[in-house]
Amino acid sequence: MKTLSSLSLAFLWAATTGTAEAQTSRLHAEVDQRTNAVRDKVVAWRRDIHEHPELSGMETRTAALVAEHLRALGMDVTTGVGGTGVVGVLKGARDGPVVALRADMDALPVTEINDLPFRSRVRSTYNGQEVGVMHACGHDNHVAILMGAAEVLAGMRSQLAGSVKFIFQPAEEGYPEGGGGAERMIKAGALDSPKVDAIFGLHVRPGPLGRVAYRPGPTMAAENSFQIIVHGKQTHGARPWNGVDPIVVSSQIVLGLQTVISRQTDITSVPAIVTVGAFNGGVRSNIIPDSVILIGTIRTFEREQRASIISRVTRTAEQIALSAGARAAVRVDSGYPVTRNDSTLTLRMLPTLVRAAGAAGVSIEPLATGAEDFSYFQERVPGVFVFLGVTPANQDWKTAPVNHSPLFFADEGALPTGVRTLASLAVDYLAAPRR
C-alpha cells in the first residue's frame, strides 16, 4: 500500500488551505462590490418604507414590496406567513446548510416631528384612538438592509453551498391583543422546509455611525407586560368616606412596586426593572371612580428572577388593595423571552463582524433592557443578534433621540455596513467547513 509522505501531506494541506483562503477572499470582495452597487436602491427603499409606515399586523404594503423584490431575484417566496410575514428562499448552487436572515417590518403609533422630505404623515387607529404612525424604532432600515442583502446574495447564488432564508417579520412591537410576529411565523413554519440551522438579525439604534455591537449570551431582556385593575367603590368626591378610593390605592401600589426591585430583588449580578407606564381612572374632579387601570412592564434576564418578580408584583398589588378595602386584579402576559446570543456561534462569527465593520467599528454590547421577539427564533435555532449605530457623525450619539422617540433619526450612511454585515454573515456561515 502506498502512503503519502509527511512532506507531501504538508504541501497538500497548504495548497488546500491557500485555495480556501483565496476563495473566501474572493467572496468577501464580491460582497463589498455588490453592497456598493445596491447602496442607492437600499436608500430609496428605506425612504419609501419610512414615508409609508404600517402598524403591527397591518404591514400589507411593505410585505408586497418585499415579496415583489424577492420574486424578481428568482427566489421561492411565501407570503401571509403568520399574518403578513414574507419568507424568501435562495437556493445555492450546491447543497449545504440553511442560514436565515431576519428583518422586522412594523412601525409604531408615534407622530413623527422630524423635518425630513420623506417623513411620515400617515394616520391610523390604535387601540381605538387616532394616532400618527412612524418608524420610530428603525424597522424601515431593517427591511431595506435585508432587501439589499438579498440582492447581494442572489447575485452570488452560483458560489453558495447551501440556502439562505430571508424572513421579513410583522409585529415585532406586538399585536394590540398581545404577542408578537416571530412566534406566529414560527408556528406557521418559517424555520422549516428547509429547516434553518442558524439565524442572524440586527437592530439600528443610537451609536457611532456604522459601528456594530455584539454580546455573547444574554443580550436583551425578557419582557412581561402587566395590567392591574384596582376595584374600589365609587362615591362623591366631597364624601370619600362613603366609598373606597381606587386612585389613592393605585398610587400606593405604584409606590409599593418600586420596592420590588429596590428592596426585594438581588440586582448585583443582572439588572431588573418594573415600570408603570399608564395610570387611568376617573372622569371629573368631584367623582371618586369605581376603578383604576394600571399598565406597565417587567424586564429581567434570568428565569428564576423573572418568576420571583412577577410573583412579588402580584402580591404587592393585591395586598395593598386588600389593606384599603379594595381589590386588585393582576394579569401578567407571557411576554418575550431573553434575547440570548449563542455564545459559540457569536465567537465563531466575530471575524465576520470585524471584516464587515472594521476592527475599530466593532464593540461588545452591555446588557440592554429593551426586549426583542427575535428571542423566539433563538429558542429554536442558534442565533446572533447585533446592533448597528446610526447616529450622524457630527452628533453626540449619547444624547441623540432614542428608538421610539418622535425625533429618532437614522443616518443612511450606516446602511451599507448593515447590508455588508448580514450578507457576510450568511456567506461566511455557509462557507465554513462542516464538522
What CATH fold (topology level) applies to the domain 17-217+339-431? Aminopeptidase (3.40.630)
Q: Which of 151, 173, 336, 429 is catalytic?
A: 336
Q: Is 336 a residue of the active site?
A: yes
pLDDT (0 to 100) of residue 1: 43
Q: Which of 30, 302, 318, 412 is catalytic?
A: 412
- Which of 124, 97, 92 has its CA nearest to residue 111? 124
pLDDT (0 to 100) of residue 12: 45
pLDDT (0 to 100) of residue 5: 55
pLDDT (0 to 100) of residue 359: 94
In the chain, what is the straight-line distance between the N-terminal and C-terminal CA atoms, in Å?
Answer: 29
pLDDT (0 to 100) of residue 20: 61
Q: Is 175 a residue of the active site?
A: no
Beta partners for 101? 166, 200
Q: Residue-wise pLDDT tens for the chain (435 aa)?
A: 444 455 454 544 445 445 667 778 899 999 999 999 999 999 999 999 999 999 999 999 999 999 999 999 999 999 999 999 999 999 999 999 999 999 999 999 999 999 999 999 999 999 889 999 999 999 999 999 999 999 999 999 999 999 999 999 999 999 988 889 999 999 999 999 999 999 999 999 999 999 999 999 999 999 999 999 999 999 999 999 999 999 999 999 999 999 999 999 999 989 999 999 999 999 999 999 999 999 999 999 999 999 999 999 999 999 999 999 999 999 999 899 999 999 999 999 999 999 999 999 999 999 999 999 999 999 999 999 999 999 999 999 999 999 999 999 999 999 999 999 999 999 999 998 765
Give whole-number Cα distances, 399 to 34, 43, 112, 210, 395, in Å.
34, 25, 18, 17, 8
pLDDT (0 to 100) of residue 22: 77
pLDDT (0 to 100) of residue 389: 98
Beta partners for 213? 363, 387
Domain range annotation of the chain: 17-217+339-431, 222-332
0.95 surpassed by pTM: no
| CATH, range 222-332 | 3.30.70.360
